[in-house]
Structure 1
């Protein structure tokens, strides 16, 4: 006898200010990820544009706006450009570890520095250690934290300079949220490097895609995602190649906004 399938129940948030496009409002549709089939449900929803935060999968459902577009990198076909190859060589000495989804004081301190420098007025700016622990540790799917450290010295681990909360799905990896050191001039482009390293990791594992969340038309802070080609975007007709013009110069990357409170998600 097969187990009874329970179709998920979906809910819609009340409208709120859009964090990316001034003067607009946003709503999200969401459902709970729970039970023995949480991973399968998360995989299926991820292929139609949903993102995960803790035990919830969500996607924008704004009445008069379709600016948020799900995008993913085709990992096996990706070839870094000259600037990206330079970044990969510059940071090739970093020690990279795949850790269980369990938070540390060092991670939280790095997150606080990152938010203060990059998103001082954002929805995550007031996160405390419990909020951070909820964001990382409350997961019903296969999740890990990838840490990036300076080389070890005298038998001791090096300084933590980057981290990414990452989900592994059946067809790729989903970068839930990344944050990194912004005060060290000797480590430029860490955000870009973290994406590049995830693309390499997915390709070597035989996983076809790296999900980058939403590209938001009209939002300058989301344009960096178009630098990772070939890129696909999700439309009503499915996934298609997407070649939006990139920004004129390489930036330092950005974290993927997926804080712990649903009202702040994008």
Structure 2
């Protein structure tokens, strides 16, 4: 167990919330100079922290507590009808765990995904520097899952192996393959991988009840949310 009391926290200035119109957001993050390892990262994840590149952060808004960490208890998860259909549609894909996604092929897929799906987001326009910083390998825990169709790269999932589960960091895929629901499939693969590794959870980051973009997370049941420092099942 790490001594969390010695960690320094820094806070951003209030800024417009990206998810709820009219709200102001504040983010706290761990001192970038702190010595972080897999154990500390895992403990902070249990407290609602999330990784972006080499930074660990969580929302800390004065007037709003809408952002809640959520996770799937994988041994209790049962796919719904839509998720079972998604898994069946993608049975033909080749799935491979790889150590590096720095190739031109991987970046080209990411660039196409951001330019097509997220032109209104914080990651537009994409750059190679931003890509390397955001999806970097940190503290020896990051894994990359590659999806190919007849040899062609169609998707990549980035996840971190924590002590209690896998943390789904980011997924990008060929936007022309919408019927495959590759984002859903990537989560299903991580759930199965966590089971094989004897891990209890897949962490999905933050969920906001009022945010339509995050509504998909409630399709994975049961879903646990962190509230008042306790993980409870979402009703």
TM over 0.5: yes
Aligned equivalent of 1:176: 169
Task: Give the Å deviation of 1:54.
Answer: 2.0
Aligned equivalent of 1:136: 135
Task: Give the Å deviation of 1:240.
Answer: 0.4
8 Å Cα contact 1:71/1:231 also seen in 2: yes
Relative to the length of structure 1, the TM-score reads: 0.83
8 Å Cα contact 2:115/2:125 also seen in 1: no
Return structure 1 stretches of 4+ with deviation > 4 angstroms.
Answer: 33-37
Task: Give the Å deviation of 1:33.
Answer: 6.2
Alignment partner for residue 201 of structure 1, among 183, 193, 215? 193
Given the alignment of the two structures, is residue 211 of structure 1 paired with residue 203 of structure 2, yes or no? Answer: yes
Aligned equivalent of 1:260: none
Q: How far apart are the structure 2 equivalents of 1:98 and 1:111? A: 17
Relative to the length of structure 2, the TM-score reads: 0.93
Aligned equivalent of 1:69: 68
What is the SS of the residue equivalent to 1:134? helix
Task: Give the Å deviation of 1:137.
Answer: 2.6
| Closer, same or farther: CA 6–234 of 1 in aligned 2, 3 Å | closer
Instruction: Describe how 1:98-247 pairs up with structure 2 within 5 A.
Output: 98-151=97-150, 158-184=151-177, 187-243=179-235
Given the alignment of the two structures, is residue 16 of structure 1 paired with residue 15 of structure 2, yes or no? Answer: yes
| Closer, same or farther: CA 5–220 of 1 in aligned 2, 3 Å | closer
| Closer, same or farther: CA 5–237 of 1 in aligned 2, 3 Å | closer
What residue ranges of structure 2 are gaps of 5+ in the alignment?
none
Task: Give the Å deviation of 1:99.
Answer: 1.3
Q: How far apart are the structure 2 equivalents of 1:241 and 1:101? A: 35
Q: How far apart are the structure 2 equivalents of 1:5 and 1:17? A: 29
Task: Give the Å deviation of 1:53.
Answer: 1.5
Q: How far apart are the structure 2 equivalents of 1:6 and 1:63? A: 22
Task: Give the Å deviation of 1:237.
Answer: 4.5
Q: How far apart are the structure 1 equivalents of 2:5 and 2:218? A: 37
| Closer, same or farther: CA 177–117 of 1 in aligned 2, 3 Å | same
Aligned equivalent of 1:84: 83
The total of aligned residue pairs comes to 234
RMSD: 2.0
What residue ranges of structure 1 are gaps of 5+ in the alignment?
152-157, 244-266
What is the SS of the residue equivalent to 1:106? helix
Task: Give the Å deviation of 1:6.
Answer: 8.3
Q: List per-residue Cα deviations over 1:40-98 (Å, max 9, x = no partner).
A: 11101000100012221100000000110100001111111111111111101111111
